[in-house]
A and B are shown apart, each in its own frame.
Chain A
Amino acid sequence: MFLIDLIMDIIAFFCIYAIITLSLNFQQGYTGIFNLGLYFPIIVGAIITAYLPGRLAMVIYGLDPKLDFSANNALVLSILRSKLSSDPVTSIALLTLTLAAVAIVCYIIGFLSSYPALKLPADYLALFMLCAGESLRVIGMQTDWLAGGVMGITIVNPFWWLGGYSYYGMASFTIISTILIALLYHRLCESPLGRLLKSIRENELTAESVGKDVNGVKRKTLAFSFTILGLAGVLHAFLMGAVVVGGYTRVDFSFWPWLMMIIGGTGNNIGVFLGTFSLVIMRRIMIVGKHYFWFLPFNVVWFEPILLAIMLMVTLVFRPEGILPERSPKIRDYLRKVLKLES
């Protein structure tokens, strides 16, 4: 049983990170949008997941309006749990609504933030997104009614009706969502859109001079990736069963994904998948292994950023193009596979 739990846990976390790194690759590897603030939309997703479904359920089940989801978190949740355990329809409706709300909000935020961001040179755009993410994290930590502030908040599980298998329910949903999102990215990247994005990455002025609205496309790319990243935030929050905004750090939710992408191979979705897989396994093993270091006079978690740094450094120096470097399709393969032409 323990083994199954561990495997399920690894797969679920791999899925979350796969969604994040694929979105990163879509921005950086394809379009050349240098975004260091991946955790910005993820936090948006997590905050909405902390705020919305619980309160909606309270309204639906007509709970005492004097109760507050955040202030009376434990009490409210125990009531909601008993109600939702026998109500799969409402549970799934809550999940769907949350996903939809996050998708819409993140799309809008991505679109709006592109207005200041695209006025900056690429390197400062990266800083802009990083600072935006950090600001949102500060807001989340300071605002108790939003997502429980520093202490965090426990949230509903849309699969309580599965009884003892509710974690498996959420994990399976995460896995299915990841497969769908991966297929979506694959489709986008191998279509003419993928080629257009790469041309923008390679040379914006040339892309403009063959009639492409570079800023328009970048704006849509940013908004689209924000949407998907927001969904990753939702899945992560539901999977954890709680939201602690302070835990969404730039190290865990921006720099690790960056390392995963670079190690895997920037611009190559399969490589990025591989990079994500190996690093997620490594990190999970480390979490188990850290109990053996209880004797040190400091917390071992601080080895993780150092390890990340060393791996990043080694990759930058020895294999900057990653395990599976980017590949361009041969025209014959392209005609045969994508256009179904023989010539």
Chain B
Amino acid sequence: MVPSPILLTALVYSFILSLLAMGFTLQYITLSVPNLAYATIAFASTYLTLTFSLMNLSPYVAMPFGFLLGGAISFMLYKFVAFLRNRGTSIVGLMMATIVFDLIIYASMNIYADYLAYVFKLYAGSFSLSEFDFEIFSFPAVLFISGLTSVGLVAFFTLMLVKTKFGVAMRAVMENFNLASVHGINTERILSIAWFFVGGTAGLSGSLYPIWFAMDPWVGARMFISIFAACVIGGLRSIYGSLLGGFIIAFSEVVVTYFLSLYFPWIWAYRAVTSMVIAAFALVEMPSGIAGLIEKLRRG
């Protein structure tokens, strides 16, 4: 049997990762630009969690602030990318624009980490905040809170897509950007709201991360590998595919490496690499991912 701390880790991790993978895919579909700053935006809010914990507040206080921070940065990034795209900048230029944001957030995070270390006389390079968590039915609260957040946000998002006017317009934009703008949909507004929402979701998930996992300024760069792998497995352009991909990658990273580490103790350190290997194999064997698989099954 899988021992329960491992299962707990896998669950919390998969709630966070699948939400992140879904957000990344959503941003990719809406603008056809992979957002390289995405993971950094998500994990910037880990420092909010740290700050609140240092101020002896519950780490969960950081959640709404994480949402706002992620949303605000993501909104600005959208404005910049959209500005360049309207000027006819190529896809390469647009991705460079996301790198601009990645670099600025990454540097600011590190400056802030240095500053915290200076003020609180601690080494904020690497930290974990699990001691600030409380328990529900002798399980750590982060399990329920991350699970509820993840399920709740996905449900909310699905309902919004299907039921609301905004959702219908958004689906139109995702399916065909040009057609939607011809039909008088205000694509600018729809997309800025969508990017705010997705960035906010990312920031929210990021703020939960250090409550269970060890955290450092480089975690964004490492997590990006897992997000990428999840999206590849999901089929690049399928929102629910990437959601599933997130679960698959999270579980294989945690559970598979756990079992392998019983025989090869050193493999535990290579958790992030496992997902890269999985993604590479998936690309060769089934380049269209889960979405392609479902399509094939549906056709018979």
Do A and B touch (CB < 8 Å)?
A: yes
Residues of A with Cβ closer than 8 Å to B?
28, 34, 36, 113, 115-117, 119-124, 126-128, 130-132, 134-135, 138-139, 142-143, 250-251, 255, 258, 262, 297-299, 302-306, 308-310, 312-313, 316-317, 320
Please tell me if the beta carbons of A316 and B97 are within 8 angstroms of each other in the complex.
Answer: yes
B225→A134 contact, CB < 8 A: yes
- Chain A contacts for B101, CB-based, 8 A: 309
| Contact assessment for B107 and A115 in the assembled complex, using a CB-CB cutoff below 8 Å | no
Given A122-B91, A131-B229, A116:B118 Cβ within 8 A: no
Indicate whether A312 sits within 8 Å of B111 (C-beta atoms), given known contacts A131-B224, A132-B276, A135-B272.
no
Give the distance to chain A from B222, nearest Cβ to Cβ, in Å: 7
> Could you list which residues of chain B lie within 8 angstroms of chain A, going by C-beta atoms?
32-34, 36, 80, 84, 89, 91-93, 95-97, 99-101, 103-104, 106-108, 110-111, 114-115, 118-119, 221-222, 224-225, 228-229, 232, 236, 266, 269-270, 272-273, 276, 279-281, 283-284, 287
Report yes or no: A123 in contact with B33, Cβ–Cβ below 8 A.
yes
Contact A139 B103 (CB under 8 A): no
User: Is the CB–CB distance between A138 and B272 below 8 Å?
Assistant: yes
Q: Could you list 19 examples of A-B contacts with CB < 8 Å? A: A119-B284, A127-B228, A128-B279, A130-B36, A135-B273, A139-B273, A143-B269, A262-B96, A299-B114, A302-B114, A305-B107, A309-B99, A309-B103, A309-B107, A313-B80, A316-B89, A316-B96, A316-B97, A320-B93
Expressed in whole angstroms, the Cα–Cα distance for A312 and B103 within the complex equals: 10
* A306:B225 contact, CB within 8 angstroms: no
Please measure, in the bound complex, the distance between the C-alpha atom of A255 and the C-alpha atom of B108, giving whole angstroms. 17
B113 to chain A, nearest CB (A): 8
- Complex contacts, B84 vs chain A, CB 8 Å: 316-317
CB distance from B195 to the nearest CB of A (A): 17
Residues B118 and A131 in contact, CB atoms below 8 Å apart: no
A316-B89, A316-B96 known; 13 new pairs, CB 8 Å cut-off, are A28-B92, A119-B283, A119-B284, A121-B236, A123-B32, A131-B224, A131-B229, A131-B276, A135-B273, A255-B99, A309-B101, A309-B103, A309-B104
Check A120 against B283 for contact (C-beta < 8 Å). Answer: yes
| Chain A residues closer than 8 Å to B91, beta-carbon distance | 34, 122-123
Taken together as a complex, chains A and B put the C-alpha atoms of A122 and B111 apart, in Å, by 33
Q: Do A298 and B100 touch (CB < 8 A)?
A: no
Point out the residues of chain A lying under 8 angstroms from B287, CB to CB: 119-120
Residues of A within 8 A of B276 (CB): 131-132, 135
Contacts of B93 in A (CB 8 A): 316, 320
Shortest 5 CB-CB distances between A and B: which pairs?
A: A298-B114, A116-B283, A309-B103, A142-B269, A135-B276
Tell me, in angstroms, the Cα distance from A315 to B118 when the chains sit together: 35
CA distance A305 to B104 in the complex (A): 7
Question: B103–A298 contact, CB under 8 A?
Answer: no
Within the assembled complex, what's the spacing in Å between the Cα atoms of A69 and B34?
42
Beta-carbon contact of B103 and A123 below 8 Å: no
